[in-house]
Amino acid sequence: MTPLLGGRRTPAAPKGAILVAGTHSDAGKSLVTAGLCRWLMRQGISVAPFKAQNMALNSVVARGGFEIGRAQAMQAAAAGIEPEVAMNPILIKPSGDAHSQVIVMGKPYADADARSYQGLKDELRPIVSEALAQLQARYDVVVCEGAGSPAEINLRAADLVNMGLATTAGLPVLLVGDIDRGGVFGSLLGTVAALDATDQSHLAGYVINKFRGDLGVLAPGLDMIKDLTGRPVLGVLPYLENLFLDAEDSLAIEKPRPDLESASANGTLDVAVVRLRWMSNFTDLDALAREPGVRVRFTRSPVDIERADLVVVPGTKATVEDLARLRASGLDEALIERNRRGDPILGICGGYQLLGESIFDDVESGAGEVHGLGLLPISTTFQASKVLRNASGHSALLGSDVGGYEIRHGRPRLHGGAPLITDDTGGVEGCVVAGTMGTSWHGLLEHDDARRALLRWTASLRDLPFTPSPATNFAAEREVQLDALGDMIGEHLDTDAILRLIDAGAPLELPTVKLTLE
């Protein structure tokens, strides 16, 4: 391709959009989208991410006080731009077994079950189109991410995020398959064949993700899938060890994390994260996991809760329901006993709320007044409006300036203990009593000084000779990860072909793959 000089777009640079779809959830759509954003940005091309509809419990507060999926914020960082609400116009946050909160343009819009949400899509479609148009007007390229699989034929008629978006906006589509799970060629072929002729006309090529092995052995399969479908494999991405990225859902913690395993080999501090059913923003723990000598694991074991040096009760989108599950599993008693001994506990957002004395919730669960675990002197009342803001302040206990962001319906009220933080407006935030502390702020642990102070506090209470590394810079490490994605795209994808697709769309001569029964 023609090199770009001085960080500015040359006449050869593309202007358009592309959709990255996947054969299934966790195939690598977010990774490829972020990698393309970083690679394009490095070429001097202005680029933005977009995901029309995201189902995730990990979210952030974008500019202006709007809630979007955390993966889109990570992709914006890859593109070197500030996250904004147009990048994720619809965010669906499951808040129970049968219902979800629907966030539209960053604000609560409706509570819906799977069936009633389908009925909302006609009114949401123009909102999606307008958000994408806004980004296309301001950036050279928009890299769109699909959701789940485009072969979910039962949902195709009202689809907003996969082939429905591709056909409406005229987007070429890359289909990502995860070879590490096995059956990648069947997944690619089956996905294409399940689409109708119009949808297939947008699907322009494949990306195989997480390959480890001999490319010479794989090569015949690449030729065969092209012969079967008329579409080329535009790249085979290697399995990247020690990669951590802001994940969308709990599938990301199902599999071992190589970075955590290596970090824990000579570990001196053990962190147990209570694995709540409706756990949200578990990416709060990523920064802890990057600390040398710190082992972070998600668990439902009372024994783990008893033995860990620090226990974290993370955020949850269903505070009352997760509290009931804690009691049913006996984890409540493990936390109460730990509190009695004075061993360190940290509650974050919903986890902070359930550590308190009482919760009054007529918003999420409709349960009314519920007794909390009684470990912190706070009472929480849920309100229909949502607190959405970025925040900063100072923590005397941690001895550092701190920052974070708030996403919550619950309003905790402190009536004892000591505040954890004094915010920049002079208000107080969080609560500390002996070895138990809580805060409503997500992202607190991404601040290096605050994270290291928490680890020193933990080591002191546990009488451990642990000193956190002064060299860990979480923001810099995240940039290194994003650069690794950009490197991978540049080295292993046919970037010239990708640029042609962005600029000109899918080729007109793509064949239709037909299912036949004999």
Which residues does the annotation mark as catalytic? 349, 442
The span from the CA of 475 to the CA of 394, in Å, is 20
Half-sphere exposure in the Cβ direction for 497 (13 Å, CA): 17
DSSP secondary-structure letter at 362?
S
CA distances from 462 to 288, 388, 453, 455 (A): 17, 35, 14, 10
DSSP secondary structure code for residue 27 in this structure: S
Judge contact between 378 and 413, C-beta under 8 A: yes
Dump strand ranges (E) for 203-278: 203-211, 233-238, 269-274
- Considering Cα of 389, then 392, then 396, then 398, what sign does the dihedral take? positive
**DSSP H helices in 213-285:** 215-229, 258-264
Residue type, position 405, single letter: Y
**Hey, what are 494's tokens?**
């046919």
Q: Is the dihedral of CA 123, 128, 131, 136 positive or negative?
A: negative
CA atoms of 329 and 171, how far apart (whole Å): 48
Report the C-alpha gap between 477 and 284 in whole angstroms: 15
Q: Is 270 in contact with 311 (CB distance < 8 Å)?
A: no
Q: What distance, in Å, lies between the first and last C-alpha atoms of the chain?
A: 47
CA distance linking residue 345 with residue 72, whole number of Å: 30
Tokens of 231: 């579409």
Characterize the bridge pairing of strands 428-429 and 421-423: antiparallel
**How many residues in total does the chain contain?**
518
H/E run at residue 90: strand 90-94
Element (H, E) at 175: strand 173-178
φ, ψ of residue 501 to 5 degrees: the values are -65, -45
